[in-house]
Structures are given as structure tokens and as C-alpha cells.
Structure 1
């Protein structure tokens, strides 16, 4: 009986322990699902300090109209291209005017339909934009330095290769990467001359300090799907049919807006 009571106590204690323990397996799974990228401490937001305000990319997640939603849901391929969605939003077919016996196939053109992300990787030192140097070789006490942008720098990203309908593809990649990373991504960003940050870096006596600033970026790699888009009308029914579907590997560099990565070292 004592052994049974002891086993029962152990089971109860183990159950309580399992309930209060954080479930690392599920936490890790959720982290992978969200796809959010955590910024390291060396990456600093300079939006308030930047002397050249960066305009946010005008790439809204375009909401399809009810008519467009009906067509997209009828399509045999996934349609995410904002340009194509906008064209469909601006179109209308009154079903009451359609004859029961009416049949028509209207060619709308060839479009990139969607982008599937396969790899999203940060490069915290995508492009160097500034170096501050402070010489304390003649000093007897610690000297302090801060970041000051010496000249204006424009950093441009974009597609890594030429593809058909490049602007549409780039827009889809940008939207997918912004949604996936939750970062303020752009195809280009500007760091204005005179931009400063109050973080202090100490240089010991007989040393020279070097503070480098880089614009970080996200590199996206994936696959764009293309197809010929037809609007098919049969009586009162309307649907989208996609033919001659092809796919192409594609990638893009996307700078992180108003963020800098700092690296600091002293010599000798």
C-alpha cells in the first residue's frame, strides 16, 4: 500500500510539474509559423533622428471587391497580384444583362499570379553607409564618441534577376516579406546627412575608435507563378480560367527602413 501511495504521489507531482512548465515545443512551433525576425541589439531604429524622412512604400494589401472575390475564388490558380486585382476591381459585369445562352471567353493578358516565399534571410550589414573615427592616442582618460552621418546615403534594393513583369513581381515579394517579417521593408531607403544617435561608445587612452554603420536588409527567395488569364462567361456565370501556367525562381533585396546596424572596434 505504501508503494502504491508513493507512486500516486509521484504521478500527481509530475502532472502538476508538466502543467506549470512552459511548453517550449509549442513556443518554438509558433515562432516558426509567425516568421517574425527578431532584431539584434546592434540594429537601432533611427526614424526620429533621420534628417531625411523616408516615405513608406505605397503598397497596400488591396482588398478585392465582391465581384473580384467571386472571380478569384473561381480561378484554377491562386491570384495575389495587386495589379491584376485592381484591374478586376475596376471591372463589372451585370449578371442581369447576360443571356442564358451567352458564351464568351475574354483574354485579359499574361500576368504574374502569385509569389511563394521559400527563404527569408536577414543581412544585418547589407551596405555600409558611414564610418566615424575618433583618435584618443594622445589621451590619458577615456574619450566618448557617437554616431554622426557624414554624407547622405541612398541604399537601393530590388530584384536579383530580370523577370517578366518585374514591377508586379517585386510588389508581390515586398508585400509577402512585410507580412512575414513584420518589418518596415522598402525597395530603397535614405540616411540623411547629419543624422545622429545618442548611444555612447568609449575609447580607452592610446586607442583609436571606429564606428561603422550599415543599412540592414532582408533577402527574399522564392517562386513566381505566371499564367494567361481568361474571363469566361457562360450564361449568368462568370469565372477566371488560367492557362499555360509557368513558374520562375526569383529573389529580392529589401532594405529595412530607418534602421542601422552598428559595429564598433578600437585599434591598435
Structure 2
């Protein structure tokens, strides 16, 4: 009897290990690339006749004092301009500060931006059309992209909001982080910009090569608050009052990228 019980226990233990062993052997699903650039979109930074300045908004590194102040706040602080101001501040402590108390009002600031959706639109804005009539031709005609006139592509916030420029910086940083694309609220495609990709227009057809500037639609929530610097004895900390949140969206062009669409038809379009 004892032998049978021992065999039964051994069998149950073996069964308990089978699911975990199968789980270890199960293939791990790879995360899909969410913002993969489609084949119809090409980088024209080298060919662009207008040299766009690179939009460089690195994350500002807070000083040791700024880190302590930011960590003391109950509300997350991400605004680069507020961090820069705190970095430029210096507060000297003294061992004789017993009973010392001060409250410094730093103003109302957009404190952080929380992204909820980031969606690329590869045909955000039409910028050019190259055309050729091959209806009288007997062989295919090759057409390439040539920008006929300079085009300025601008983005912006979808609604009015306080401290718009500071909010745009935070949204731009978040969108660049999520998409890994070169984004800017303004980009320019210069006249004569070309691309070597060939499109064939069949005989007896009209050929249209459309060019679009891609853009990213960024949506989320910005949090505002009144910022106070509190000095109490040798302690220094930040207090945020009257915290409010507001939904906001923005269109941000992709810099030095062009999306192409080709169509051949019997009749004019």
C-alpha cells in the first residue's frame, strides 16, 4: 500500500512539471514594428535642395539640486524649460537656518505631457505632381520625381492651449521617442529636389506621380500646475498647487521624407 501511494505521488509530481516545461518551450511572440516606414516612403535628405536644420531637442539633464527638487514633487515634472530654470538656480544652505521659512512662487507651468496615441500619416500633405502624357507613345515612358516648386510643410497644435511652445516641445520629444523618426513642426522641400526611383508609364496612358509629405498625429494629455519652491530650515522642496489636465493633439511633419503614389490612366485625372 505504501509503495502504491509513493508511486502515485511521484506520478502527480511529474504531471505538475509538464505545463512549466511546455511553457518554456513555447515560442515567444516578437513585438511588431509599429512605426515601420513603408517602401513607398523615401528619405530625400541628401537630395533635398533646401538644407533643413536638424531638430535637436535632447532630454535636458537635471542637476543634482534639480533632481532633488523634482523628486520632492508629487506631480511629475518633464517640462525642459522648467528644468532649465531650476538648473540655473542655486540655493545655499546654512547650518544656522533653524526656523527659516520661505515660499517662492515660480509661476504656472505645463508640467508634463502624457501620450495616448501616436499615428503616422504617410500622405499628410500633398506637395508635388509630376505628369506625362504617353497616349501617343509606343513604348513605356520612364518618369522620376522632381519637385517643381518649394514647399513649406507646417504642423501645429490642433487647439489653442496655454504655454503652447512649451507644450509643443514636450509633445515633439515624446513623438520622436515613440516613432524614432526625424520630426519637426516645420520642414521644407526645395525646388528641384529629385529621387532616382523610376516609374514606367505604359503606352496609351497618362502617368501621374504624386508626392506627399508624411506627418505624425500626436494625441495626449498635458498637466498644468502652480509651482512653489519651499525653503524650510535647511530643507528645499517643490509644491504643486491647483493641478489641472487638458487633452491636446498636434500634427508634426516628418523631416526630409517623401511618400510617393503612382497612377497610370487612359483619361486625365
Q: Same fold (TM over 0.5)?
A: yes
Distance 2:37 2:27 in 1: 24
Match of residue 23 from structure 1: 28
Task: Please list the CA deviations of residues 150-193 of structure 1 after superposition, one character each: whole Å capped at 9, or x if unmatched.
Answer: 00000000111100000000110001111111111100110000
Map 1:46-85; keep pairs closer than 5 Å.
46-85=44-83
SS in 1 for 2:50: coil
Match of residue 4 from structure 2: none
Q: CA deviation at 1:16?
A: 9.1
Q: 2:146 aligns with which of 139, 148, 154?
A: 148
Match of residue 126 from structure 2: 128
Task: Please list the CA deviations of residues 191-226 of structure 1 after superposition, one character each: whole Å capped at 9, or x if unmatched.
Answer: 000000000000110011100000000000100000
SS in 2 for 1:174: helix
Structure 1 unaligned regions, length at least 5 = 1-7
User: What CA RMSD, in Å, does the superposition of the two structures yield over aligned residues?
Assistant: 2.0
Q: Give the structure-1-normalised TM-score.
A: 0.89
Q: Give the structure-2-normalised TM-score.
A: 0.88
Q: CA deviation at 1:18?
A: 7.0
Q: 1:18 to 1:251 in 2, by over 3 A?
A: same
Distance 1:265 1:43 in 2: 16
Aligned pairs, number: 249
Structure 1 position 111 matched with structure 2 position 109: yes
Distance 1:180 1:84 in 2: 23
| Greater gyration radius | 2
SS in 2 for 1:55: coil
Q: 1:37 aligns with which of 31, 35, 38?
A: 35
Distance 1:96 1:36 in 2: 53
Q: CA deviation at 1:60?
A: 2.1
Distance 2:96 2:39 in 1: 62
Q: 1:238 aligns with which of 233, 236, 239?
A: 236
Distance 2:96 2:243 in 1: 29
Distance 1:236 1:91 in 2: 16
Match of residue 87 from structure 1: 85
